[in-house]
Amino acid sequence: MPRFALLIEYNGAPFSGWQRQKVQPSVQQAIETALRKVDPDCPTIGAAGRTDAGVHAKGQVAHCDLVRDWDPFRLMEAVNFHLKPLPVAILNAVRVDDEWHARYSAKERRYTFRLIARRAPVVHGAGLVWQVRGPLDAGLMQEAANRLLGTHDFTTFRSTSCQANSPIKTMDEITVEEHDYPYGKEYQFHLRARSFLHNQVRSIVGSLERVGAKYWTPDDMTKVLEARDRTACGPVSPPDGLYMTGVGYETKPFGF
């Protein structure tokens, strides 16, 4: 069966997450249903990461095995047709080797979290950002984020339901960007690592917000990390502002 890699974008608001559920709608189910309209014997697809309920994606990657050796462009067009009107789109489809795997071939995963600070309610970005009312100190948040770079025990930033074998992870990048708007500011948190623990990104961003709001200091972030205690974590940020933005592979199936 020929194998294809799919580059996927979605708004996670109406879904219970990526992974197929018995009752609740999922992104995986939506794509598999569309695929089986064009290739009825398509088996379960695999993804680079299982995003949580409400989390979005601009660069999720999955692979599928099909009976027919489709032209990749026609496959993309056909699946997108059957995905309507759901907020899910296949951005690209490419033929890959049978051994290539969306999850196990991945070398890194990238996430961006968007946070808006303004008093007026967010209208055009509603459901797509986390809103707080007061401005934050981006410099302090970056200083605190730097304390998390490298290899650490991230138990503090790990969900109690996380199924990973170890809390040890290596953070390769946490960058905080500040953007000015006429009536507020947007802060973007860019995180990059080979893999993440369950809720790790949202836990880190929630704790960085405490630093930006000056309830915590960067030194407090170090203490929280070294505590290796989930109860020491700041409030977990909502899923609205979190985006899976990309997955890195040695073979670069999509050319980047």
Q: Which residues are catalytic?
A: 52
Instruction: Name residues whose C-beta falls within 8 Å of residue 164's C-beta, 6 or more positions apart in sequence.
Output: 158, 197, 198
Coil, strand or helix: which one is 67? coil
The whole-angstrom separation of Cα 19 and Cα 29 is 8
Distances (CA, A) of 134 to 118, 174, 215, 220: 6, 22, 12, 20
Q: What is the dihedral of CA 36, 38, 39, 40, to 10 degrees?
A: 50
For 131, other C-beta atoms within 10 Å of its C-beta total: 19
Distances (CA, A) of 252 to 74, 105, 256: 21, 10, 6
